[in-house]
Chain A
Amino acid sequence: MAQIKFQRLSSASPTFWMLVLAHVGVVAAGLGAALFMETNGHRVTGMTNQIVWGTPHVFAVFLIVSASGALNVASVSSVFSRLAYKPFARLSGILAISLLAGGLAVLVLDLGRPDRLLVAMTTYNFRSIFAWNIYLYTGFMAIVVAYLFSMMDRRVSKMTAVNKTFGWAAFSWRLILTTGTGSIFGFLVARDAVSGGVMAPLFIASSLVYGLAFTVLVLLMMSIETHETLCTREMISKFRGLLIIFSLTVLFLTAILHVSKIYAAPTRAVEAFILLDGGVYPLVFWGGQVFLGNILPLLMLAYMPRAHSKRNTLGLASILFLVGGLAQMYVVIIGTQAFPLNIFPGYEVSSTFGDGAINAYSPSLPEILLGLSGISIAMLIATAAFRLLPFLPHGVPVDAHGVAQEAEEAMAEAGAAA
């Protein structure tokens, strides 16, 4: 089997340090925002007793969903034995862990009582899909770490069976994980906009888009930093194909979700709200999620120009997919709560507690900073990992068929770094 070389990130360009500094700044601002929210209470946020989950949850769920998708490249290489993806498997694994850590950090920092994290980690309600998710997340990290070890350790990496086993474990685990995350919403029986079984497959498909988009962007960024073409032409066309398929799947499942809810009379009103007359939500749905986040990047990828600008097009499309992901989460999480619960079907209702009324929400600065800090936490963890251990491929020569060629033994690097 072909041996692939790996390298640590050793760049010290001003751009690199500026980026790192920017991320550190965002993380500091996010932590400050969390402290501000914790000290003053959630009064200082846009969240209320009607919109109980806000912008931090949009980012947190988006990152968690992306995390499981980021592992996709590693899965394709180990589980489906596609050698072309192998040079990127390590990067994909560590990116998955980083994104998950970023998402969880935001989720925890938004809690009403983040000081009770220990309680959350020691007192479980096993009927709660949320509690199951805590297991799923920690389990995911453990499995991916084991998987990375199986790829990076000099001896273990030669045992194809071991590597494959961990690859399969990580692959199955991440499917369950995303099902679990989707089910957090699917289980909300009273929330007409999201209850139901299609949320789980929709989240899996979405995770593949966002995870791969993150992977592509990190690869492109690292290509600049390492002055190497990490994302070869063959890989660009492979990633392009995958992104097109995943994005079409998301569009298809989104259509099923909405059509099935339009078909059922009781959920027609909430559909009209999200798709037509709900103010900002139809705008975010059609403009953000559907057009900017799927159609436009799909068109860009479908009519991708030849030669050198391909890389830029792929990068731009990936950014758009991520913007679409945030828009999707905004509609799913906040749009769902903005629409009034139907407690007395058939009546026009009103009360001092917002019954029957559309609930207003506008994101506050602390929430946005906390949310953004999740992305920065993920990027900083990934960068630190890239510098500490050889996660990045090095000099991947690719033949006409996109198959990695023989390269020297590289595992010594892993040993030396460890």
Chain B
Amino acid sequence: MSSCSGDDEKAGMDRRGLLQSAGAFAATMLAPGVTLYAFGGGEAEALQARPADQPASPKQRWGMLIDLNKCSTGCNACVTACKDYNGWQDTGRADIDPQWIRKVTLKDPQTGVERSAPVMCQHCASPPCVDVCPTGASMKRADGIVLVNKHICIGCRYCMMACPFKARSFIHEDETGQKVNNPSGKGTVEGCTLCVDRVDAGQRPACVEACAKEGGALIFGDLKDPQSEISQALRKLPSTKLRADLGVDPGVQYANLT
């Protein structure tokens, strides 16, 4: 919770400077086109780890760009990687299985063309899940990552009612063998954390790493840093936010969704 505190602004200044220099360095070293396509090959820009004594910074906004032209219908690598890393478990009943990320098949009714899109928590800037949560368990970190504090979630599921993207799952039964990074428990709600622990350690989310070895459709980075890989890619690829009409301002954007 401390990462939500108002001190974030000051604390994040130094780190931002560091990140900006890193970004600027990366940009000078790589031509924009190279930067843009490098992510697919696993040579994406280096991310900075967050010092343990510093809260998340509002000078950053972590986000993701999903290029649907590179995402194939049969590929499920991101889903498998997320499931492995975060340890969400099958229950034997599809309707109560938690799913932090899923592949949605989109069919254009006019042309019949099919494509596939990974959908997870969109880490909205104005997240309805956070607005409605009675206890404040649903929270947005200063750096834009939306999380559930499992210690104060009472399992009311109002956030699930409010989320426009069905990004959250309720845990319907006892679980065993949970991952340390996801202390999942019966009776509470959970969803994509953008692999917050990895991000804090200067790594990319598990899905992004896995996708890099496949189609390379996922770019992760700081939306507020104009030099970041994602910002540069966004300038080149026309992209869409899901249900932009709702005004929730997702941090996840989709390219080639038309």
Contact = CB atoms under 8 A, between A and B. Distances in A.
Q: Is chain B a partner of chain A in the same complex?
A: yes
Given A50-B95, A112-B189, A341-B166, A41 B171 contact: yes
Nearest to B110: A346
Given A125-B133, A344-B104, A355-B104, A190 B162 contact: yes
Interface string B154-197: 11111011111110011111100000000000111100000000
Interface residues of A, number: 51
Nearest to B106: A347
A113 B154 CA distance: 5
Interface string A36-59: 001011110000111011000000
A345 B103 CA distance: 16
B152 A116 contact: yes
Q: Is the interface of A mostly helix, strand, loop or mixed?
A: loop
Q: Is the interface of B mostly helix, strand, loop or mixed?
A: loop
B162 to A, nearest CB: 6
B102 A49 contact: no
A352 B88 CA distance: 15
Given A124-B134, A130-B156, A41 B165 contact: no
A43 B172 contact: yes
A127 interface: yes
B98 A351 contact: no
B215 interface: no
B33 interface: no
B104 A190 contact: no
A399 interface: no
Q: Which size bracket describes the interface of B in this complex?
A: 35 or more
A272 interface: no
Contact of A343 (B154, B160, B165): B165
A123 B133 CA distance: 11
Nearest to A341: B166
B133 A128 contact: yes
A254 B232 CA distance: 50
Contacts of B54: none
B172 A42 contact: yes
A112 B131 CA distance: 19
B206 interface: no
A341 B170 CA distance: 17
A38 B119 CA distance: 30
Interface string A113-137: 1101101100111011111001000
B158 to A, nearest CB: 5
Contact of A116 (B102, B154, B164): B154
A6 to B, nearest CB: 39
Nearest to A185: B161
A237 to B, nearest CB: 42
A395 interface: no
Given A49-B98, A130-B132, A130-B134, A347 B107 contact: yes
Given A120-B154, A352-B99, A129 B132 contact: yes
Contacts of B242: 343-344
A337 interface: yes
A128 B171 contact: no
Contacts of B103: 351-352
Nearest to A266: B245
A114 B189 CA distance: 14
Contact of A189 (B102, B130, B166, B246): B246
Q: Of A134, A188, A190, A350, which is in contact with the most chain B CB atoms at under 10 Å from its CB?
A: A190
A168 interface: no
Given A50-B95, A350-B107, A353-B166, 8 more contacts: A41-B187, A43-B172, A111-B154, A128-B134, A189-B248, A341-B166, A343-B164, A355-B104
